[in-house]
Chain A
Amino acid sequence: MNVRAMQRDEKAMHRLRLRRTRLVLRGLLRDGGTGPALYVGGILVVFGVLPAFWVLGELLAEPLHGVVRAGADRVALGASAVQALGLWAGIRCGPALMSPFSAHILMATGIPRAQVLGRAALRNMTLGTLLVGITSASLILSASRGSLEQGAAGGPTLLVVLASVVLGGQASLAWAVGQRVGPGAASGIVALILVLSGSATLWSPTILLTTGGWYGLLATGQVPTPADWMLLAAAGALTACAWVMYRALPSGLSSVPTTRIMVQAQRVESALLLAGGGDLRRAAEATRSPPRRHPPMRLGHSVQKATHRRLSAVSVGWRQDAAASLRHPGQALRSVVLLMAAGMVAGLVGPTTGYGGEDVVSGTAAMLALCLLLDAGLAGVSPGLRGLQEELQAAPLFGWSRRELTVRHGLWPVAVASPCVLIGCVVAGLWWPEHEGGIGAGGWSSLEAAAQGACWAVAAVVVMFSCRLLQEVTSRDAPLLGIPPVPTPVGDLTGVLLLLGSIRGVLTAAAMLGALAVLIHEPWTQVAATAVLAAVAALVSLLGAPLLAESR
């Protein structure tokens, strides 16, 4: 960092110290703990709990038949869009708007971090609540304009206004959630909400998966008589939501956004220092993506809570794994989608459905596609051996059991991937019931067949994960630059060999799964294809091993 920049920072820090003194004198700085919690609690009660009970009470007394006859899916989509808007506003209007460098300088002045971020968060939360409240009211009123005339005068208008207020409250809750999660996670949640709501137009039962969908059902009177269990469920959901928000936001104000900004500030500071020293390459590295493994402060909170509850290292570690997987929500979402797609392929080409029928080429291609999808999906949820090595080194410091760590690293990817693959299997059966052997065609009609299909899906995950692990063991830390060139008359084939080497785990897994399918279901037409896959995998391993060994 040059002298002029240092002098500028010094002046900025001096100004901030003076500013802080003035704020303290005015009594404007308060602790970031109790105040925000009470603020959120008040918003919850005023905008969420009370209106919801009012609306439900009105429903019990006078059901909404006739207010809106149809279009529950559109109401659901609109309501979900408002919630997504609230979530998006939360992440855009939060403390993250504070520039990393100014946050770093602010925190370097000795002001408690919660106070640095708390005031900005409270101000933005007020603005966000107003924004989503007004937007939701406008949306609901415009969506149900024509239907107001159909109901009794006064009653429906009041209900619609109350519903908009409730929706605004929910959107503000989503906004508060947006304060806690990062932009990537929020994007994933927004996408999930909208996809679930939008899918109701294609397949109506998914309308039950979103709160907006329940709004739609209630608004169109498609829930015939709101019974006591509905009231209890709604009250329970609201209470749980209130509790979660009450617990989440204080820590969100004082911990997570702080951590996020800490990371940003540290990276920018590192980049400035390194760039000032002329090391531009490392400066660029410092501003690159954040560390991939456990978010440290969340790790601290997680470990603290887990220790308090006397949980084992496995439980703690699984929470760390979950936090680590969700740290890159885009990657996590991609993994889930890929694994579900793999499950759909597994459901279509598994032994229950005849391993692709009689077509050798399509069957083999499907098996390769299954393994490629599994491989790509597992990449996002499998921490890899490097992560295990780091945790094993950290074990003496934190008192973790090395054996439990190893077991957990093996179980976690399988435990996460298996449900996704199973869901994909079921979805494939529901979407293509006419497929030979599908659910609709009787393939999974019996409990035994369903169990066989589930075992097949889990076995595919286990086999693919084992092959990934094996490949990682044999080729990890192989520097790309150290791999010798393979010159041929048609050019350098290093890239081709690298490609083959990187997918030899996929080839091995495809061959193993093919052999498994042949053994279980006896589609003897696939024996030749399986043998070819096994031969290619063996050849690639034989070619790749000396190449990688030479590179070390």
Chain B
Amino acid sequence: MLAPLDADLPAGLLSAVSGPNGSGKSTLLSVIAGRRPLSSGLCLVDGRPPDETSGRFREAVASFIDTPPLARDLTVREQLAVVGASWWADRDPWAGADDQLIALDAAHLSGRFIHELSAGELQLVMLALTCHRPSSLLLLDEPERHLDEERITQLGALLKHRAQAGTTVVVATHDHRLLEQADRRICLAAADRTP
């Protein structure tokens, strides 16, 4: 599912993984997130193998690979507050809940419930939720889904800003605008399609 790959993803850079369908972009992100073992080879995150059972590792790695479930009876802002409350015991859970939405130009969604969002708006909310939790490594699988051109540009700027702040950002994408904004590009080869 993933062709042999030798890559280094340095901290503080926005890295983009591209490649045709089935080349293993999502698999690569899952491996880095510690959710899928390697059949051979070695993957190190901060000098250690990905260990999903380690609390420190889970705190360091934020990923948006699968769609996170959302509570239908909470507004967008309250969803963010719940995530905040789960990570910062000594901080007001509402603090910073709007920051991610503002960065994605989605502040107008804060009072809405999930069923009131379009597909693109839902994608923005899930990106905001992922970016809201603390992380030193941010993994995003095709974050440009359902987004218009303007939002994709804003997303690229946000990810670039996160990378400059010290977070290692890895994005699997097909979008040329995100690829252009990336500091480092990794192009995966097409998978062997021999039946």
Question: In this complex, which of B65, B67, B72 has the most chain A Cβ atoms within 10 angstroms of its Cβ?
Answer: B72
B residues within 8 A CB of A291? 71-73
A residues within 8 A CB of B69? 390-391, 393-394
Per the CB 8 Å criterion, the residue count for chain B at the interface is 37
Find residues 54-80 in chain B having any chain A CB closer than 8 Å to their own CB: 55, 58-59, 61-69, 71-74, 78-79
Contact present for A396 and B65 (CB under 8 Å): yes
Contact present for B73 and A401 (CB under 8 Å): no
Q: Which residue of the partner chain, among B67, B79, B89, B129, contacts A307 with CB atoms under 8 Å?
A: B89
Contact present for B67 and A393 (CB under 8 Å): yes
Question: In this complex, which of B59, B63, B83 has the most chain A Cβ atoms within 10 angstroms of its Cβ?
Answer: B83
Q: Which residue of the partner chain, among B55, B73, B82, B86, contacts A263 with CB atoms under 8 Å?
A: B73
Question: In this complex, which of A266, A270, A299, A391 has the most chain B Cβ atoms within 10 angstroms of its Cβ?
Answer: A266
Cα of A299 to Cα of B70 in the assembled complex, Å: 13
Judge if A65 is at the interface, Cβ distance under 8 Å: no
Contact present for A397 and B33 (CB under 8 Å): no
A residues within 8 A CB of B53? 401, 403-404
If over half of A's interface residues share one DSSP class (helix, strand or loop), that class is named, otherwise mixed; here it is helix
B residues within 8 A CB of A263? 73
Residue in chain B with minimal CB distance to A308: B89
Cα of A397 to Cα of B90 in the assembled complex, Å: 19
Judge if A398 is at the interface, Cβ distance under 8 Å: yes
- Chain B's nearest CB lies how many Å from the CB of A103? 14
Task: Give the tally of cross-chain contacts (CB within 8 A).
Answer: 88
With A401-B58, A402-B52: A393-B68 Cβ-Cβ less than 8 Å: yes
Judge if A240 is at the interface, Cβ distance under 8 Å: no
Q: How large is the interface on A (under 10, 10 to 19, 20 to 34, 35 or more residues)?
A: 20 to 34
A residues within 8 A CB of B130? 396-397
Contact present for A400 and B82 (CB under 8 Å): no
Q: Which residue of the partner chain, among B65, B78, B113, B133, contacts A399 with CB atoms under 8 Å?
A: B133
Contact present for B113 and A296 (CB under 8 Å): no
Contact present for B113 and A307 (CB under 8 Å): no
Cα of A84 to Cα of B81 in the assembled complex, Å: 36
Judge if B93 is at the interface, Cβ distance under 8 Å: yes
Q: Which residue of the partner chain, among A267, A300, A393, contacts B81 with CB atoms under 8 Å?
A: A300
Contact present for A397 and B133 (CB under 8 Å): yes
Judge if B85 is at the interface, Cβ distance under 8 Å: yes
Contact present for B68 and A301 (CB under 8 Å): no
Cα of A394 to Cα of B74 in the assembled complex, Å: 15
Judge if A304 is at the interface, Cβ distance under 8 Å: yes
Contact present for A401 and B115 (CB under 8 Å): no
7 cross-chain CB contacts under 8 A: A291-B71, A297-B74, A393-B67, A396-B66, A396-B130, A397-B83, A402-B35
List 14 extra interface pairs beyond A300-B93, A393-B67, CB under 8 A: A266-B72, A270-B113, A270-B115, A291-B73, A296-B71, A307-B87, A396-B66, A396-B68, A397-B129, A397-B133, A398-B83, A398-B86, A400-B58, A402-B35
B-side residues, CB < 8 A to A, are 33, 35, 52-53, 55, 58-59, 61-69, 71-74, 78-79, 81-83, 85-90, 93, 113, 115, 129-130, 133
**Nearest 3 interchain pairs by C-beta:** A308-B89, A303-B86, A296-B71
A-side residues, CB < 8 A to B, are 262-263, 266-267, 270, 290-291, 296-297, 299-301, 303-305, 307-308, 390-391, 393-404
